[in-house]
Amino acid sequence: RSFTEHNILALTQMMTGESNKSEPGGIKSPLLGKEDADLLNDESHRPRVITPFPSPKLTDLPMFQGDHKESLYWGTYRPQVYFGVRARTPQSHVAGLMWLGAKDGKTVMRHFCENSDDLKSFGRWREHNGIDFGRQELLEQDMILETSFVKSKEGSLGYGGDWSVRINVKNVELSDEVKRRAHLFFYIADEGGNVLN
pLDDT tens for residues 20-47?
444 445 555 555 566 666 665 666 556 6
Predicted pLDDT at 168:
92
- Residue spans per domain, the chain: 5-45, 63-190
Closest CA to 143 of 182, 170, 183: 170
> What is the reported pTM?
0.62
* Position 29, amino acid: S
Q: Is the pLDDT of residue 187 over 90?
A: yes
Mean pLDDT of 65-80: 87
Closest CA to 165 of 82, 77, 68, 83: 83
Q: Which CATH class is domain 63-190?
A: mainly beta
pLDDT digits 0-9 by tens, 166-186 = 999 888 776 666 566 678 999
pLDDT digits 0-9 by tens, 121-141 = 887 889 999 889 999 998 887
